[in-house]
């Protein structure tokens, strides 16, 4: 099960910390932003490249210390498709480094829309007769506000794909 992998990683590293990857461009060191701007100009692609470069450095520094990372979708989506690609590449890089990845999307909807979120983040997508994994995270955060109508569509995908969900039930 997905959470068995997470618990095993926590036990191996003796550390239950999940590192949040919520990169704000303002927090990225100037030398990284400078390199990205030299490659791509003052564009969203440069911003996304800077986020990815920064994340890779964090992941390299943390992969032997923490069991999991949790990239927050909004910090990537705000940079358009380029930022979404940086999210995808961040997830792939973290998984290459052996980390459990929790996509922090706090998604919430019902029925087929929730199934689409699940397919995108923790499941598979069909296109042109082939099956693809989109983001391939190990787990997804979801908002339980809509109750079981918003959670049930995820459960089969979790079981079939050996993935998990974290349900936000109360926020202070």
Sheet containing strand 164-168, strands side by side = 18-21, 68-71, 100-107, 139-143, 164-168
Active-site entry in 33, 70, 106, 163:
106
CATH superfamily to which 2-168 belongs: Aldolase class I (3.20.20.70)
Quote the mean pLDDT of the chain: 94
Whether 170 is catalytic is: no
Highest mean predicted confidence (pLDDT) among 29-43, 99-113, 132-146, 147-161: 29-43
Residue 109, both tokens: 């909807």
Q: How does pLDDT run across 73-131, given as a tens digit for each residue?
A: 999 999 999 999 999 999 999 999 999 999 999 998 888 899 999 999 999 999 999 99
Structure pTM?
Answer: 0.91
By C-alpha distance, which of 164, 166, 121 is closest to 2?
164
pLDDT(43) > 80 = yes
CB 76 within 8 A of CB 84: yes
């Amino acid at each position: 099960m997905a959470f068995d992998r997470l618990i095993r990683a926590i036990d191996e590293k003796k550390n239950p910390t999940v590192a949040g990857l919520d990169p704000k461009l303002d927090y990225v060191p100037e030398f990284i932003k400078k390199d990205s701007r030299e490659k791509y100009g003052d564009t969203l692609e440069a911003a996304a490249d800077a986020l990815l470069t920064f994340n890779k450095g964090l992941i390299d520094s943390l992969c032997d210390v923490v069991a999991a990372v949790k990239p927050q979708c909004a910090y990537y989506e705000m940079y358009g498709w380029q930022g979404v690609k940086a999210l995808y590449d961040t997830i792939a890089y973290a998984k290459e480094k052996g980390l459990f990845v929790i996509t922090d999307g706090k998604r919430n909807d019902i029925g087929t829309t929730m199934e689409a979120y699940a397919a995108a983040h923790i499941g598979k997508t069909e296109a042109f007769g082939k099956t693809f994994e989109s983001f391939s995270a190990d787990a997804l955060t979801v908002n339980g506000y809509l109750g079981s109508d918003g959670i049930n569509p995820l459960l089969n995908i979790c079981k079939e794909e050996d993935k998990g969900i974290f349900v936000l039930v109360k926020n202070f």
